[in-house]
């Protein structure tokens, strides 16, 4: 992959990683405040809020892991190569999703397998 393009993707990945880290900190603070607040009038609202924060936390942790894997691939000079077929991942795909691990065809195949 072109080193200039890889550098731009790495910069985007690092910026997004910083944003996700800040968001995770905020969610953690919100979770702690919600759990410490014993004045909830409606138990269902409390449970709903905690469940939402848990799902958001999980989603952002997953995103952070994907970003870290992409940064690791940059450092190992394997960034931009599909993990399944080892061909180059389409440049426009990486422009949209710099953390992409699979080319379009391999990703589509994986999604079809998941769908059953």
Q: Can you give the CATH number for the domain in which 78 is found?
A: 1.20.120.910
Q: What angle do CA 20, 87, 2 make, to 5 degrees?
A: 65
Give kind and range of the element (H or E) at residue 114.
helix 104-115
Q: What is the mean pLDDT of the chain?
A: 92
Percent of the chain predicted with pLDDT > 70? 96
Tell me the pLDDT band of 2, cut-offs 50, 70 and 90.
confident
Quote the pTM value: 0.82
User: Which residue range(s) make up the domain with 55?
Assistant: 3-115
Query: What confidence score (pLDDT) does residue 49 get?
Result: 86
Instruction: Give the number of domains in the chain.
Output: 1
Calpha distance 23→103 (Å, rounded): 29
Is residue 70 predicted with pLDDT exceeding 70?
A: yes
Burial of 70 (0-12, 13-18, 19+ CB in 10 A): buried
Tell me the pLDDT band of 46, cut-offs 50, 70 and 90.
confident
Token readout for 82 is 């599909």
Query: What is the secondary structure of 41-99 as a DSSP string?
Result: S-HHHHHHHHHHHHHHHHHHHHHHHHHHHHHHHHHTT-TTB-TTT-SBPPHHHHHH-TT
Overall average pLDDT of the 59-71 stretch: 97
């Amino acid at each position: 992959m072109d080193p200039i393009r890889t550098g731009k993707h790495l910069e985007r990945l690092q910026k997004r990683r910083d944003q996700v880290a800040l968001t995770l900190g905020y969610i953690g603070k919100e979770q702690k405040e919600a759990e410490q607040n014993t004045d909830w009038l409606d138990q269902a609202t409390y449970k709903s809020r905690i469940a939402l924060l848990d799902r958001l936390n999980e989603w952002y942790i997953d995103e952070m892991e994907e970003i870290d894997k992409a940064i690791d691939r940059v450092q190992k000079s394997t960034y931009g190569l599909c993990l399944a077929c080892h061909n180059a991942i389409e440049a426009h795909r990486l422009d949209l999703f710099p953390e992409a691990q699979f080319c379009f065809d391999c990703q589509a195949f994986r999604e079809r397998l998941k769908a059953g």
